Structure 1
């Protein structure tokens, strides 16, 4: 059921792609009751016959025209070149755009690559195999069926238009040299394996321009994180939409949002540390023996939260200083996991002991093994299962 209090999510694709690339993400949002819209940018794979000019300001105007047809507030989401477009669109509708999500973003100021470096990109128009290889070269786990589809539709793009697309994202616009004027929440999702919009480029060219932007790396993804790991990207969007609607994105009705549930949304060690006492103790079915001490437990929980593709706390009970939280999650490409977390708190309400029970057994064993790999060299390997 769609929740009318939530912002509509408007999705803008990147270089050479089309609106259909967002279908897996939209499917997750639809299941969570979130309304979405996706636009095809002129001249690219969804609208190859649409005439130019093919510039960032023109594309921003097209997005604004869509916003004017959408009732109520929106969250704007743009991938790669689309991130440049949505930031420009947000400048024109500051009262309507409540949040920005920039997926593997190109800086608004452009990448400023030398002319010889962008020649291969400018030659991709009408070249299905060239587009296929370009996507493979910058991705980690691009789904084969979607790769084939995008190559086929991309072959219809006018070769004469593609240099204009490239100049648009490479040159950027002058506004990109200044701090952003957008004051709402900004979520930046970069592919952990993205060799184009690298961590250094995103941090210096994108995140530094926003006050308080949150940056998350999507494991197992390159430049097309929304196609490679759509469930992960979608759950980040759900969290932002729910927070803007005044509710936690990972708590069902009747479950209180708190430090523990919020930390799972943020997925950082610091977020978990805010809730712990110094000598906190963690026990779990995914651990051979407890992990003790705030620093170690923070690392374990941040790594564990990054494994989940989705996580919802579904039931809650409290007895004295203990909170009992039932939860449902997915990981490893949609594998369902569920369990119960017991939090024992001190007099000040900080978490002193954690007990986490996972089921089923095979998922718990896989979770333990993956967690051990993520924490190799950080937490003793003897804590984790290994096949």
Structure 2
């Protein structure tokens, strides 16, 4: 494993940032150094990034086989577990197959998945004659460089030589093994992906190997609502050909993914508290100075003890409650919901949660409709909280 920081430095960086660590997985005949330019372009976003070398390639070229996609994935998963923090897996080409399999092993530890010029997990299924040029690369630096130039669109001489020097030391006998692995793929490639989190599929616009058709037919359909983008003037190695463009799209995707994950987390926590119908369950998420505003309140309720009493009691009035949509922007999460109370009367609304830097909710604004049911809810809430919360907060109160 190589990294932009030592393991101690990585741990210190993680303690000061809520962002998951970026873990980069290289492709066929490449190594960790293939990600250098993208990591540099990402700057602070990749301050604790980890770039892995797979067995038999890169700095681990001497690592013995047998080699398999499952073995590579288990190795990646083991290294991620040792990091002991959430990650975003970024896999290139054959590394995309491995990253997806590792994500399935790591489950919730993986916050997002990025597949760059991804070889389909099911493999490419090329016939033997088409695979011969790949098998012949072992021990032939000129052939390796010629193939890289053929599959790239904007690869500088320096970039070509860098990739070539990474691939040159790979054992000749291993080259064909690695090629057959990505070509034959994995049985899970015939099924819907096990990874359900935010996913970005990114390809070089003029990649002659992982074409737009390959992505559309063999990659995208396996994921739920994946983001998709292409890099202009890039072939099969966009991270070397156009690192600034790759970093820009990756950063934009991660911002959106973080907002989605935050909204999902808030929705789960809020839903759990309502399901528990417990004041204590709400209090876990609240800052001491929390302010609650609602269309069923005449004026805000302030302070964790008072707000948790209101929310815990309100949860007992609902006969059913379902969150239907969520979104997040900056410190705010927006939750749309539908509910039922008073023997089947319908309520609809939007809840806006604002969190502080520590992740605690400092303001909750709950908007109910229709007006008639909201007014009825206010009266009922006031009656149930009589003697515990000032009656002036509720309709009909003193």
- Contact 1:190/1:216 (8 A) holds in 2: yes
Q: Which residue of 2 aligns with 1:128?
A: 141
- Contact 1:138/1:195 (8 A) holds in 2: yes
Q: Compare CA radii of gyration and give the structure with the larger one.
A: 2
The reply on whether 1:208 has 2:227 as its aligned counterpart is: no
Q: Which residue of 2 aligns with 1:24?
A: 37
Q: Which residue of 1 aligns with 2:174?
A: 161
Cα distance in structure 2, aligned partners of 1:140 and 1:233: 15
Q: Which residue of 2 aligns with 1:231?
A: 244
Higher relative helix content: 2
Q: Which residue of 2 aligns with 1:242?
A: 255
Q: 1:74 to 1:92 in 2, by over 3 A?
A: same
Residues matched between the structures, number: 248
Q: Which residue of 1 aligns with 2:290?
A: none
Q: Which residue of 2 aligns with 1:196?
A: 209
* Structure 1 range deviating more: 211-220 or 109-118: 211-220
1:1-387 alignment, distance < 5 Å: 4-32=17-45, 34-246=47-259
Q: Secondary structure at the match of 2:50?
A: strand
Cα distance in structure 2, aligned partners of 1:46 and 1:142: 23
Shift of 1:121: 0.1
Shift of 1:184: 0.3
- Contact 1:5/1:245 (8 A) holds in 2: no
* Structure 1 range deviating more: 168-177 or 44-53: 44-53
Cα offsets for 1:99-144 (capped at 9, x unmatched) = 1100000000000000110011011112111111111000001121
- Contact 1:6/1:241 (8 A) holds in 2: no
Cα distance in structure 2, aligned partners of 1:171 and 1:244: 31
Cα offsets for 1:241-273 (capped at 9, x unmatched) = 33344499xxxxxxxxxxxxxxxxxxxxxxxxx
Q: Secondary structure at the match of 1:222?
A: coil
Q: 1:151 to 1:126 in 2, by over 3 A?
A: same
Shift of 1:4: 1.2
Shift of 1:152: 2.4
Q: 1:165 to 1:33 in 2, by over 3 A?
A: closer
Q: 1:71 to 1:245 in 2, by over 3 A?
A: farther
Cα offsets for 1:205-251 (capped at 9, x unmatched) = 11110010111111010000111111111122212333344499xxx
Cα distance in structure 1, aligned partners of 2:182 and 2:46: 33
- Contact 1:29/1:35 (8 A) holds in 2: no
Q: 1:235 to 1:112 in 2, by over 3 A?
A: same
Cα distance in structure 2, aligned partners of 1:28 and 1:142: 17
Cα distance in structure 1, aligned partners of 2:49 and 2:42: 8
Listed as ranges, the gaps of 5+ residues in structure 2 are: 1-12, 262-398
TM-score by length of 2: 0.60
Q: Secondary structure at the match of 1:9?
A: strand
Q: Which residue of 1 aligns with 2:364?
A: none
Q: Secondary structure at the match of 1:68?
A: helix
- Contact 2:69/2:181 (8 A) holds in 1: yes
* Structure 1 range deviating more: 172-181 or 232-241: 232-241
